[in-house]
């Protein structure tokens, strides 16, 4: 339904790109909106809040944006990789099960079949789930435009709700991360009354190398408790490589609460979000002992 006083933008041009060169050319003047699975773009289209620009650029037939592969100790996920592929890829199930765990809590079967990694990142919702484990894996995001290619840490990609450092002429081509080493531990937690089809009230991803009850090189990232995915670097530094005893866990919970910035909204209160974040972290740190 159209809220009053808001008009969806007219789509003035449509390009069905068959190659990366065609897709990049169609985006070059900054007037294109990439179409991947459409589960955000089409859902937001009529609200007047969406970010639909004049030209719809369908990228679904661009082979270079697809595929899950591993070479030289680096795993590459094309931007069009769907949540279903995260669940079904044997490579990922074996080597990065935290991605399948995340996809398993994502939307519904029908949405998972179309929702892409690139769309989840570009949409930049503070409650985007798939970005959390990717930040936990120190993923780099590869952007392409007519001007060239650049890679940057996913962790530095987000600027605010719906805001990123991506320019209007750029496309996300892929994300890449080092194949996790032996002993890699990754968990994803998400709160909501149902297992799926739930916009995260709080989501958390915790990763690191787990050995003898200690988590080394930890990454702690929360969703839906701030304007962007919130990485808790002070908490990470506190627990890095240390024995996770009761005192350290209590300290970690207190410091983490100062690093997140939850708000009150219709889904949950700030208080509830903080409690849930602490509950997740406490449970997962205890599970590492």
Partner 1 sequence: MSLTHKITFALNGKPVRADADVASSALELLRGAFELGGTKLACGEGECGACTIIVDGRSRNSCLMPAVDLEGREVLTVEGLWREDGIDPVQQAFVDEGAIQCGFCTPGMIMQTKYLLSRNPDLTAEEAERGLEGNVCRCTGYKKIIAAAIGAGTGARD
DSSP E strands, 52-147: 55-58, 68-71, 74-78, 140-145
Q: Which of 22, 28, 31, 38 binds partner 1 (CB under 8 A)?
A: 38
- In the complex, the smallest distance separating the C-beta of residue 189 from partner 1, rounded to whole angstroms, is 18
User: Does residue number 37 form part of the binding site for ligand FAD (CB under 6 A)?
Assistant: yes
What are the structure tokens assigned to 203, written together?
A: 């989501």
Gap between the Cα atoms of 81 and 36, Å rounded? 10
How far apart (Å, rounded) are the C-alpha atoms in residues 222 and 213? Answer: 22
Q: Per-residue x/- mask for ligand FAD, residues 7 to 36, rule CB under 6 A?
A: --------------------------xxxx
Site for partner 1, residues 105 to 164, rule: CB under 8 A: 107-111, 113-114
Tell me which residue of 246, 68, 278, 44 sits closest to 162, measured CA to CA: 44
Give the span between the Cα atoms of 68 and 237, in whole angstroms: 32
Query: Please, which of residues 162-221 interact with partner 1 by CB under 8 A?
Result: 194-197
Host H or E run for residue 94: helix 90-95
- 116 contact choice in partner 1, ligand FAD, none (CB below 5 to 8 Å, kind-dependent): ligand FAD
Q: Which of partner 1, ligand FAD, none lies near 11, with the C-beta cut-off 5 to 8 A by kind?
A: partner 1
Q: Strand 55-58 and strand 230-231: pairing?
A: unpaired
- Return d(Cα 17, Cα 23) in angstroms, integer: 5
> In 60-181, where do the E strands start and end?
68-71, 74-78, 140-145, 148-153, 158-160, 163-164, 171-178
User: For ligand FAD, how many residues bind (rule: CB under 6 A)?
Assistant: 30
Say how far apart CA 160 and CA 116 lie, in whole Å: 20
Partner whose footprint covers residue 12, from partner 1, ligand FAD, none (CB < 5 to 8 Å by kind): partner 1
Q: What is the C-alpha separation between 116 and 138, in angstroms, rounded?
A: 19
What track of x and - describes contact with partner 1 for positions 225 through 264 (by CB under 8 A)? ----------------------------------------
Interface with ligand FAD, residue 92, by CB under 6 A: no
Give least dist CB 3 to partner 1, A: 14
Nearer to partner 1, 56 or 281 (CB): 56
Residues in region 95-134 near ligand FAD by CB under 6 A: 106-107, 111, 114-116, 118-120, 122-123, 128-130
Binding site for partner 1 (CB under 8 A): 8, 10-14, 16, 35, 38-39, 42-43, 45, 56, 58, 60-61, 84, 107-111, 113-114, 194-197
């Amino acid at each position: 339904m159209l809220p009053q006083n808001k008009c969806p933008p007219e789509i003035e041009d449509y390009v069905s790109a068959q190659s990366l060169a065609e897709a990049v050319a169609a985006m070059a003047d900054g007037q294109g909106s990439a179409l991947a699975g459409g589960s955000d773009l089409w859902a937001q289209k009529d609200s007047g809040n969406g970010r639909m620009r004049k030209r719809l650029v369908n990228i679904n037939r661009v082979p270079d944006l697809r595929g899950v592969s591993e070479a030289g100790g680096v795993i590459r996920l094309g931007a069009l990789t769907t949540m279903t592929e995260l669940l079904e890829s044997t490579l990922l199930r074996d080597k990065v099960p935290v991605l399948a765990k995340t996809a398993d809590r994502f939307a519904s079967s029908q949405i998972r079949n179309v929702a892409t990694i690139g769309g989840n990142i570009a949409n930049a919702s503070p409650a985007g789930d798939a970005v959390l484990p990717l930040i936990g894996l120190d993923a780099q995001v590869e952007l392409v435009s007519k001007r060239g290619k650049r890679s940057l840490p996913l962790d530095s990609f987000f600027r605010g709700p719906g805001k990123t450092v991506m320019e209007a002429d750029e496309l996300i081509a892929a994300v890449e991360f080092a194949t996790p080493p032996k002993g890699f531990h990754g968990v994803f937690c998400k709160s909501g009354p149902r297992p799926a089809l739930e916009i995260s009230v709080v989501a958390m991803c915790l990763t690191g190398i787990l050995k003898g009850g200690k988590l080394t090189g930890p990454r702690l990232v929360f969703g839906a408790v701030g304007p962007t995915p919130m990485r808790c670097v002070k908490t990470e530094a506190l627990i890095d490589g240390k024995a996770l005893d009761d005192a350290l866990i209590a300290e970690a919970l207190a410091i983490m609460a100062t690093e997140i910035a939850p708000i009150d909204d219709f889904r949950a209160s700030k208080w509830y979000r903080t409690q849930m974040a602490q509950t997740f972290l406490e449970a997962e740190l205890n599970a590492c002992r």
